[in-house]
């Protein structure tokens, strides 16, 4: 797989960073993208990242029933 960079400014920036860090172009791009990904992930609080999951979970109605061990054992064949 390969990327083709059509923008001369971007190409030059990657090459400058590769030379500065003594990495290949592939390593430079991978490192830069991973670092930016981590930076972006760190910028969004966990509660905000989990909000869609919490909202989806809350859409399910409460069963108001206690878990029945015998029922779950029967599902797994552990009668």
Cα–Cα distance for residue pair 57/5, rounded to 1 Å: 42
Q: What is the pLDDT of residues 22-43, one digit of tens each?
A: 999 999 999 999 999 998 888 8
What's the predicted TM-score (pTM) here? 0.54
Going by pLDDT thresholds of 50, 70 and 90, the confidence category of residue 64 is low
Q: Tokens at residue 70, please?
A: 């015998």
Cα–Cα distance for residue pair 35/21, rounded to 1 Å: 14
Going by pLDDT thresholds of 50, 70 and 90, the confidence category of residue 44 is confident
Mean of the per-residue pLDDT values for the chain? 88
Q: What are phi and psi of 69, to 5 degrees?
A: -55, -40
Token look-up 């990327």 returns 3
Please tell me what DSSP assigns to residue 77: T
Going by pLDDT thresholds of 50, 70 and 90, the confidence category of residue 63 is confident
Going by pLDDT thresholds of 50, 70 and 90, the confidence category of residue 79 is low
Q: What is the CA radius of gyration of the chain?
A: 25
């Amino acid at each position: 797989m390969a990327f083709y960079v059509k923008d001369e400014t971007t190409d030059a920036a990657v090459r400058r960073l590769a030379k500065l860090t003594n990495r290949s172009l592939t390593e430079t791009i991978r490192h830069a993208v991973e670092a930016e990904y981590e930076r972006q992930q760190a910028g969004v609080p966990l509660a905000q990242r989990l909000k869609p999951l919490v909202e989806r979970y809350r859409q399910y109605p409460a069963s108001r029933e206690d878990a029945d061990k015998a029922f779950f054992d029967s599902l797994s064949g552990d009668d």
